[in-house]
Structures are given as C-alpha cells and as structure tokens.
Structure 1
Amino acid sequence: MKDVNKKSGCWRIGCFSFVVVPILIAVSAFFYFRSSYVLPDKFVLSVPIQGNLDEVHSLSSSLPLLSSAEPLSFQDLLFLFDHAAGDKRIGSILLEIGGVHANPAKLTELRYSIEKMKASGKKVVAFLRSAEDSDYLLATACDSIVVEEGGFLMLDGLKAETLFYTKSLNKIGITFQASQWKTYKSGIEPFVRTGASSEYLEQIGELLDDVYDDYLGYASKRRGISRDSLQAVIDNMALLSAKKAVQLGLADGIASSWALNRSLAGKITGREPERGDDVMVSAERYRDSVEPNYNADGRDAIALITLSGPIYRSGGASGMGVAEGFDEKLLQRSLEVALDNRDVKALVLRIDSPGGDALASADMLEMLYFAAKKKPIVVSMSGVAASGGYMAALAGNKIFAEPLTITGSIGVYALKPEISGLVEKTGLQREVVTRGRYADATSLFKPLDKDAYDKFVAASGDVYHDFVSKVATSRKMRWAAADSVAGGRVWSGKRALQAGLIDSLGGLHDAIREAQILGKIDKTKKPRILFYPERKSWMESLAEGDFSGFSRSVTIALKQRLIHELVPEGQSSSITAFYDMLMVSGQLHLIAALPGEVVIR
C-alpha cells in the first residue's frame, strides 16, 4: 500500500518538476518582462526617426520567423511626444534622425510636437549622421544639432520627378486610352504623354513653392541665420562636412554616437556613466510602459479611425497587391464597433490616403454620413487627403489639415490598356465568340471603338459630377464654385483653407481636442483613445484559426519584401500606385487618386 501511495502521490519528484517548475518559469518570465516596463526616476529618452513615417504600422508586413525591423509609426511618434512633454522623469530627449523620406505635412506636425516638448522644459537634441534636407529640417526644431564625427549634410533643395512610360510601352506594343476629368487630373499623363502638361507643371510648382518657402523660412529662423544665407548654402555648396556645418551655424557640435550618449547620461547621473546605469530609455520601451491610452482619465473615449493607404473595393484586387490599403469592409467594421461602444462619445477620422477606387470612396462616404448622425466626426488630414481620400473627409463636422497637407485633387480618371501591338509582335492568335454587342468591348486585346469609348468617357464624367456635387453639398458651395476648385487641382493645406475645402489648420491632437468638445467630454479630463481598425498580425490570425488572413498577410509581406529589394525605396510607391491597374486586374477602373506625391528627402 505504501508503494502504491508513493507512486501515485503528487509530491514525488517527477510530478513536482512537471507542475511546479513551469509555474516558476512563468512567474520569473512575468517579473522579467514587467521589469522592462518599470522606468528609472530620471532618464534620457532616445527616439529614432527614420524611413517613410508610415501613418500606422502594417502588421502584416512582417514575415513569420523574421524580424520586420519596422520603425515607429507616425502616430506612435505623435502620441509618444505628447506624453513625454508632461513626463517629469525625462531629463532630455535624443532624436536620432536619419533617412527620413516623408510628406512635408508630417514633418511640420512632428516639428510642432518637438516644440511642445521643448516648451515643457525638456532639452531636445538632434543627432544627425549623413543627413539630407528632410532630416535637417526636422532637426532644426530641436534645441541643438550634433553631427556625427565624419558625417555630412547634403542640403541640395527640392525636386519633383515624374517618369513617362508612353514611348517605352509603345515599343513593345502596349498603348492606353484615357478619360480625364478634368485637365488638372494628371494621373493619366505618364501613360499617354511623353512629357508633363502645363497644368501639371503649374500645380506641382505651387506645391514646391509652398514647401520650399516653409523649409527656408523655418530652418533659417530656428538656426538664427538669414534666409538668403541658407539658400546660398543650398545653391552653392549642397554637400557640407560636419566641421563646415558647425562653422556656418547650421549645427552646434560634432560627436560620435557613443560620446553623445555618455554626455547626455552623465548630465542625468551627475557623474561619469558606469556600466549598468539605466538612464538611456529607448522609444519602444517607453511606449510600452505608458500604453495603453497614455494615462487617460475616466471611461469616456474617442475612437480614432485611421484611413491609410490606397482605397480599394472590398474583395477586389487589393488582396493581390504589394501594398496594404483600405476598403469598405474595414471601415464598416471600425464604425460598427465605435458606434456600438457607449463609452465612445466622438470619432476622429485620420486620413493619410491619395484616394483610389472612385466607387469604393463613395461607398465609404455614405457610411461616414450615417455614422455622423449618431456621433460627431472630426477629420484630421495627415500627409495627404486627396481624391477619394478627400471625399471621405466630407462627412466630418469639422476638417483639420496641416499647412502643407496635400489636399483636393477632386477629379476622376480612367485608363484602358490595349495590347494589340504586343499580340501582333508575338504572333498570338485569338478567337472570340460573344453574345451581346459590348461583350468584348473592354478586352485588353483591342482598343475601344468610338461608341464604347464615348460610354467610357461618359461614365467618368458622371462620377466626376457626382463627386463635385458631394463637395458642394458638404462645403455649402454652389456647384460652379465647387467645380472651380476641383478639376483635379491639388492644393496645399493653407491654400485649401482659402479655397473653402477645409475648416481649420491643425494636427491630430487639435482634432482630438475638437472631438472632445463636440462629444461633450469633460475638458478637465483626458479621454481614452481607442484605435481602429484593429489590425491583426500573422501570428494573431494563425492563433485564431484565420488561415486565410494568415495566408493573405504572408503573401503581402513577401511581395513587399521583394519589391523593396528590387526597387529603390524612393521609387517603390509610384510603382505600387499603378500595380493593380496594370499588372493584376486588366479591368476598367474609375480612379479618384492623386497622380503623384511630394516627398522631402
């Protein structure tokens, strides 16, 4: 009996090891990870700012078993800086700026955030390695600029570049028929022209003028030099060594990363830094310690719905593309959850989109109109809210944009490719049997005849007139007045304000404050921010048994990784913008999208 009890007792060594040891490991792991969230009483916050400053993270861009090395998203930075401004534990902030390729409006909004941290008494130091104009412009918002020893500044100004594919495609037998509403809607030009139109040159010139004026004015004022002096550096020198930059007053010091970190850490500890000192806190660690909701008060919440990337139709070609976008179902799910949540008192629609499918954009606007009847909506335009992206903004009770936000482009275009020349060159034979006059009218293998082309153009015109009517109704304009600021014209945020397309200049936090007022949330309290849509990583999809979501995430990630390996970073976005239209669907699409983008490098 004793032997039986010994064998069946749960306190024998084998059973003890099986049950208790995993518990001890789990408890140890819990306290280990929990300790990483506990911050020192005084520290330096180190924040890397680099890359394209994507509005939000694309969780499906990471591949299983491979790290994504994805930088902080733009919204990560905005909320992190806002919280850091009031955090008394932070002695100073180190911004490691490099390789920023961002829309001018995003740089402006980040500058305001940096200035807010400085106003709270924080010392903000910019560390530049081999910096370009965008890096330097952002750095000038800081208290001081330190250039890496051996580094340089490449300050060579701004440019706008467009590739024209017409002749190249014609050589292999591919041509396009186009419908354009109206002359400023220049998205068709790379495929039907061999050079830019006067309308394109006019509006891109105005955008560059606004951006360049802001660059010269802001950077020269912050550095205490004349505007002419900065322009002379750009026009006559362009490439400056770190030493020369300090001599000209463009920077304050030269140091290695190691030396700068030790210097900042020493100012916190009051002594020579030692191994084990926990005074340099990374942005990721800081973000994880202050989330969720950055010390919000009470239960009242604001739903922040981010519409980022190209707009697609649900179930359309987007699933085959290389870039994640936004479709009607994604918006529908976000709105349903936000409207059903009684704690949500108002919505902020954050838009960073060049537009896309015209009909999908119209569907989204109808959903947003419905939501606005239930709860107030405030729109915050980020880097770009154009075409279909601007259409979605029309549902807002109030629309905010940054002075350099690319806005408008109210217009429609359609492209119809045909490959009859390629077919002839390759000797491909084709037999078609149809029932119905237009059954084969939109085939890739032949151009549209006159009757079909007229219908093609008329359909584009109908969509354009509907778009302008929506603008006129929402912005309380006459149709002719709305048409006068439409026609595919692109406006900077400050010009859009003058044209009546937006209500006020401001950033995301301005929109959140306005939503707090419209939602009747106590001004003395900080509302919770609920982020939508909730994006699932490939691991979450797999854990929940969503194998289609897992497959889709991995497919997109593979294509993103491939195209960024093959194509320079600065050119990949222009390729993805036309990927679905040219390489996947082969169908007619009515497009309400910005024809290009303006990025400071």
Structure 2
Amino acid sequence: MANQPKNTERGWRAGLYSLRAGIDRLWQRLACEVANLRRRLYRKRLPGYVVFVINQELAERTPIRPWWYNYLPGYQAPVSLASLNDAFRRIAGDPDVKGIVLLFKTVPLGLVQAQNLAALFHRFREWDRQSNGAAAPKSIIVHLEQVTRTTYFAACAADQILVTPLTTWDVLGLHTTPTFWKETLALAGIAMDVVKVAPWKTAFDAFAEPAMTPEYEAQVQWLYDSIFADLVETIHKRRGLSAETVKSLIDGAPWTAEQAQAAGLIDGSAYEDELPVLLGDAEQPATLKPYHEVRLLLFRRPQRRHPRAVGVISLTGAIIPGRSRSFPVPLPLFGEEVLGHLTAQQQIRAARKNSRLAAVVAYVDSRGGSALASDLIWRELKLLGQEKPLVVYMGSVAGSGGYYISLPGRQIVAQRATMTGSIGVVTAKPVLQETYAKLQARRYSIKRGDHADLYSEEHPWPASQRAKVEEGVQHNYAEFKRRVAEDRALPYEELDAVCNGKVWTGAQALQHGLVDALGDFPVAVERACELADLPTDGSVRVIDLTPPKERLLAEPAQAVKEALGLDSVQTLTVLAQELLRGEWQALVSNEHYWWIATGLPDGG
C-alpha cells in the first residue's frame, strides 16, 4: 500500500506526458502544413545557397535571452555553434537548397571551435543523406578572407575552400612566447613566494621564475606535438596530400592564393561578389541569401518530441567563492568571467529538482581557480549525478579546478585540442618588503597568533610557516588524486605519472584515461541520452539552464541597459570597488589553487 501513491503519481505523470506529446504532434503537423504552404507560394524567393557570415567569436552555447530582446534597437543575436547546429539541420532537410556558404571575416577562432565546426560539417552531410536520400548532396563552401591555422582547419572539412585573390595561405605552424617577469618585478621590489606540488604546476611560473624551466618547456613540447600532429593529419586526409608534403608546405608558408591553389591547398580564388557566378554560371548565377532571410521559407517536417529533456549547465570562467560575475576589463589571472560557487550551486540544485530533465550535460570551460569553491561545485555535481545521468563536455580548457569539477560526470567528452589535466595544487603570495623600502614606507606588524601573518605580503614565508603551507598543498593534492582515482577508476599509486600538474590535450587525456570520448557538444548530448535510455534521433529537447531568478521585474530595465552599453559602466564601478577594497588581492593570496597555467599553447 505504501507504494500505491507513488505508482499513482507515476501513472498520472505518464498520462500527462502522453497527452502533451499528442498535442505537440498535432500542433507541429498543423504548423508544418501552414509553413510549407507559405513556402510553395514564395518558392521563387528560396535561394540556391544559404549564407552565414562568421565575423565574431563563436560561443559554444547561445546566450539565453528573453524573446523580446530581438525587438530591442541595435540588438543582434550572437552566432554560436548551437545556433549553427540548429540552422544546418533545417537546411539539410530542405530538398531544394543546394548548399551552404560560410563567409569567414577577420575572426578569432580557437582550435576547439574549429574542430567543432568541422564536426558540424560532417553531421550536416549525414542529415542531408537521411532527409533527401539519393538526391544530389548539398555542398559546403567556405570563403576565407584570411587563412589562419584554425580557420583553415575548419575549412578543410568543407567541399570547397575559396579565398580572395590577395589572400595568403598563412598556416605557419605553431608558436608561443611565454614571458617571465620575475626579474622585472624585482626592479620594483616585488617577489612571488610560491609553493606547488611539482615543477609541472606552472601557473605562477611567469612571476616566480626568471626563465622557462625544463619542465615547462617539456610540457609545451608534448602539447605542440599533439596539436601539430592533428593539424598535419587533418590536411593530409581532407586535402589528399601526403603528410610529408603538408609539413613541407607549412614550413614554406606563407603562400599566395595562386600558389596555394597549385599546391592543392585551396580550390580557387574569388571576391565575395563573384561567388554567384562561380557557383552557377554567367548566364544563370546562383542565388545566395543570408539565413535570417530564408529561415521561414525552408521546408519543415514534423519532428517527434520526447516528453523528457536533457538540461545543459554552463560552468565557465575562473572558479571563485561567491557569485558569478563578468567584467569588461580582464582581471589578472581571472580573466573577464568568473564562476562563483554560489551561482553554480543554484543551477545544479535547480537541475536536480527539475522532473522534466532525464539527464544533464555540464559544459565546462575553466582554467580552474579556488580549491574550496571547486570542491563545493564538485559536491553539487556529485549529488546531481547520483540522481540523473551526468555527462561533462569540456570546451577549450578544463584544467586543474576545471578538471576537478568534471570528475562527477559518468562520461567526460573533450575535443582533441582541449587543454585539460593540470591535476595539482599551487599557492602563492606577493612579497612587497623591498617595495615598501624603495618607497620609504614604514609598515608595522602587530599580531596575535604565530600564523596570523601567514598570507601577509610583508615577508616571505619563514620555515615554520612554509612547512604549514606545504602541508596544506600536499593535503589538497592528495584529495584531488583521491577524487581522480575514485571517479575515473584509476590506481591511486600510479596517478603521479599523469598528475603532478601536467597538462594534456584531449587526445592525450583519452590515452591516459582522464576522459572517455573525443567529440563535440552533440556527442556529449548523445551520450547523455544513451545513459538515460532516451532516443538519440534528435527528438529529445536540449534545454539551457540558468540560476533561479529572483528579480524578474528587473529584466526589461536590464535589457535596455545592456543594449545601450550602460551595464558595463555599473560593472566597471563594481570592479573598481572590489579592487579598492582589496578583495581581489585577498582572494589571490589567501587560497590554495587548482589552476592551469595561462601561457601554454592552445593551437589558436
């Protein structure tokens, strides 16, 4: 009898889901009929090729905005990989569109984003085959104004690569220039006192070492070996050139457009206005229109919608105690965006309570940060994973604390170029003793307790205090390794070979057992669906989750402020207040860190 109420509730929910699904199917069928009728009436407006302009940095997920943002003056929805994925799927289902043209302007594109774009191109072709069968396959044309290693990496997955006549092929290989500031800081009397688990934990080396250490150099070398091998292999396979030829062409770069075409690196050169004739002919040029003009004209098919959904939690930025924040001016070490543990807790707890979610994907893009805040986020994700399948998708970087919060995932998916690992602990504080002397400033220290000045910037750690700091660092490192051993099912005693602060690409991390699969975000969603016994045919909705909102009435005013650029003024005020109060300095000098170094290569 005790189970009867629960069974009744389950039956009631199942009936409600079935009713909702039935209504949804009827509504979709009606909406598709109306849309396709409109399409037949305006069919002549349908272009041969749909155009996308890539002129800004590509985010992984589309920022969540209310629908009425689209009606604000000057507001333009950002392009994201998620929005491109939805658009490409719709285009693939139209029987009359011949293909897609992507116009790459001057745009910063990371290697992980390039790999995700290449995966999207392959997925588009599969959607096209599923929808249109034996019909002529749709083509993907990429037009590049500048050829960099990342834009070219993505373009290699296209059917045609076109450049402007004066574009040069600038895939010059890989290059990084870490800079070390210890002796420069010494001119101002500033020193950094650092305690770390191993020489590979290089997060503060730029300030604490006079030059690149052998361990730092070895780490850069093995990362570049992995990234460069992927670059050569990609060009070799997709352009039909031998690996040795590819290496020779990279060593000889830059090449003119004519030379690049002769070498088989590109397919032709043309200005943007010449594309219609190039894709058609002089008598009947192809028609090209941007996606926003043809979106409503594309053929629509009813799609079965599953009553359950997969939720997405975005965990991005340096990890700190407190609330998440964004700053228009990057903070040293922290960057423009910080992930606060309080905000993350709200998101994760909301996902646990959401009965509609059958599984969750956590999108992690973080260099790490506070060990304490990372552990608190880890705990919430661990509890979530005990109730629902949790899959982690790593973005460009998920190192140190970023890797730590990824551990609760039943599956971890990364791209080949993702920077991850850096399993280790470091703590540091600035020492300003000589600075005060140079400024002839006299500081006096009055304390109670032997370690009350443990994080004071007045002096380096004496032997007794350094021993205490090292004890804390080793304790945190042991806990980190224990989590890795438990969550990744790896022998604890063998972990130092892959831990000790060492950074790995996603491809290397897979070999070391630190991740489960390589791929893009849709691969993580597919893994989540499989773990939740959901279909993987695209019928399961993917919902981006935000922290529970407390002040809904403030949204319209906030939107207007963002559109007018006024929000950044308030943010700058908050930034100034925090710096004046010394909160940033206190955070830097009063924590143990799970942090990945900022000067390591990323292939971009």
What is the one-letter code of the residue matched to 1:532? L
Q: Is the 8 A contact 1:103 1:598 kept in 2?
A: no
Aligned twin of 2:60? 55
SS of alignment partner, residue 113 of structure 1: helix
SS of alignment partner, residue 407 of structure 1: strand
What is the one-letter code of the residue matched to 1:146? L
CA distance in 2, matches of 1:401, 1:434: 49
Q: Is the 8 A contact 2:325 2:337 kept in 1?
A: no
Q: CA deviation at 1:312?
A: 1.6
CA distance in 1, matches of 2:363, 2:430: 34
- Give the counterpart of 1:170 among 186, 205, 208: 186
Aligned twin of 1:599? 602
CA distance in 1, matches of 2:574, 2:124: 35
Q: CA deviation at 1:330?
A: 2.2
- Give the counterpart of 2:220 among 190, 198, 204: 204
CA distance in 1, matches of 2:359, 2:185: 50
Q: CA deviation at 1:281?
A: 1.9
Shift of the 59–285 alpha-carbon distance from structure 1 to 2, 3 Å rule, reads farther
CA distance in 1, matches of 2:146, 2:553: 38
**Offset from partner CA, 1:178-222 (integer Å, 9 cap, x none):** 011122111121111122222222222111111111111211321
CA distance in 1, matches of 2:64, 2:312: 18
Which residues of 2 match residues 130-169 of structure 1 at below 5 A?
130-169=146-185
SS of alignment partner, residue 393 of structure 1: coil
CA distance in 2, matches of 1:326, 1:75: 21
What is the one-letter code of the residue matched to 1:255? A
Aligned twin of 2:3? none
In structure 2, stretches of 5+ residues that fail to align are: 1-37, 129-136, 577-581
- Give the counterpart of 1:435 among 448, 451, 455: 448
**Offset from partner CA, 1:218-272 (integer Å, 9 cap, x none):** 1132122222222222212x222222221222111111111115654x58x9934
- Give the counterpart of 2:311 among 303, 306, 310: 303
CA distance in 1, matches of 2:397, 2:107: 17
Shift of the 540–415 alpha-carbon distance from structure 1 to 2, 3 Å rule, reads farther
Which residues of 2 match residues 109-124 of structure 1 at below 5 A?
109-119=116-126, 120=128, 121-124=137-140
Shift of the 118–270 alpha-carbon distance from structure 1 to 2, 3 Å rule, reads farther
Q: CA deviation at 1:98?
A: 4.1
Q: Is the 8 A contact 1:401 1:506 kept in 2?
A: yes
SS of alignment partner, residue 146 of structure 2: strand
CA distance in 2, matches of 1:326, 1:315: 7
SS of alignment partner, residue 380 of structure 1: strand
**Offset from partner CA, 1:355-378 (integer Å, 9 cap, x none):** 111111111110011111111111
Which residues of 2 match residues 14-413 of structure 1 at below 5 A?
41-50=46-55, 52-56=57-61, 72-88=79-95, 90-119=97-126, 120=128, 121-236=137-252, 238-261=253-276, 263-264=278-279, 271-272=284-285, 279-282=288-291, 297-315=305-323, 321=331, 323-413=336-426
Shift of the 435–381 alpha-carbon distance from structure 1 to 2, 3 Å rule, reads same
In structure 1, stretches of 5+ residues that fail to align are: 1-33, 563-579
CA distance in 2, matches of 1:468, 1:423: 40
Q: CA deviation at 1:474?
A: 0.7
How many residues align structurally? 534
What is the one-letter code of the residue matched to 2:213? S
Aligned twin of 2:590? 588
SS of alignment partner, residue 144 of structure 2: strand
CA distance in 2, matches of 1:600, 1:98: 19
With the length of structure 1 as denominator, give the TM-score of the two structures: 0.79
SS of alignment partner, residue 176 of structure 1: strand
Q: Is the 8 A contact 2:190 2:434 kept in 1?
A: yes
Q: CA deviation at 1:449?
A: 2.1
CA distance in 1, matches of 2:57, 2:562: 26
Shift of the 396–553 alpha-carbon distance from structure 1 to 2, 3 Å rule, reads farther
Percent of residue pairs identical: 25
Which residues of 2 match residues 508-587 of structure 1 at below 5 A?
508-523=521-536, 526-533=539-546, 541-543=554-556, 553-555=567-569, 585=587, 587=589
Is residue 447 of structure 2 the alignment partner of residue 416 of structure 1? Answer: no
**Offset from partner CA, 1:443-495 (integer Å, 9 cap, x none):** 22322222222212221111111100110111122221233321111122222
What is the one-letter code of the residue matched to 1:485? V
Aligned twin of 1:444? 457
Q: Is the 8 A contact 1:105 1:403 kept in 2?
A: yes
Q: Is the 8 A contact 1:414 1:589 kept in 2?
A: yes
Q: Is the 8 A contact 2:219 2:503 kept in 1?
A: yes
Aligned twin of 1:491? 504
With the length of structure 2 as denominator, give the TM-score of the two structures: 0.79
Q: Is the 8 A contact 1:104 1:598 kept in 2?
A: no
CA distance in 2, matches of 1:167, 1:70: 46
CA distance in 1, matches of 2:61, 2:603: 19
CA distance in 2, matches of 1:556, 1:102: 29
Q: CA deviation at 1:422?
A: 1.2
What is the one-letter code of the residue matched to 1:340? K
SS of alignment partner, residue 194 of structure 2: strand
CA distance in 2, matches of 1:434, 1:289: 74
SS of alignment partner, residue 179 of structure 1: strand
Q: CA deviation at 1:380?
A: 1.7
Task: Tell me which moved more, 360-369 or 586-595.
Answer: 586-595
What is the one-letter code of the residue matched to 2:111? P
What is the one-letter code of the residue matched to 1:598? P
Q: CA deviation at 1:139?
A: 1.2
